[in-house]
């Protein structure tokens, strides 16, 4: 199956975060773009550990729940479920 890619703006919306936040993750090596696009598989991997993402971003459990809900919508959008 061909890899799917999305722009930084769409990736930020899918993850419920800012473009600046994604750029920070790039600098930290947590997310690596390909031609300024992000692999959907990489976004999925980040979201699989939503509580871990929340801890690393120093956000509370309400935000972790929001991240989980965004991940659920993301999966529906890409017909993963």
* Model confidence, pTM: 0.47
Q: For residue 37, give Cα distances in angstroms to 18, 34, 42, 62, 81.
A: 15, 5, 11, 29, 23
Compute the C-alpha angle 17/81/29, nearest 5°: 35
Helix (H) / strand (E) containing 16? none
Tell me 81's DSSP state: -
- The pLDDT tens digits of the residues spanning 6-40 come to 888 888 888 888 899 989 988 998 888 887 788 88
Which structural domain range is residue 61 located in?
5-77
Structural domains of the chain, count: 1
């Amino acid at each position: 199956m061909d890899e799917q890619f999305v722009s930084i703006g769409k990736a930020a919306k899918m993850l419920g975060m800012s473009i600046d936040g994604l750029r920070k993750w790039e600098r930290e090596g947590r997310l690596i773009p390909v031609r300024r696009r992000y692999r959907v598989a990489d976004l999925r991997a980040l979201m699989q550990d939503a509580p871990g993402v929340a801890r690393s971003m120093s956000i509370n459990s309400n935000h972790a729940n929001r991240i989980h809900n965004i991940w659920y919508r993301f999966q529906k959008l890409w017909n993963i479920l």
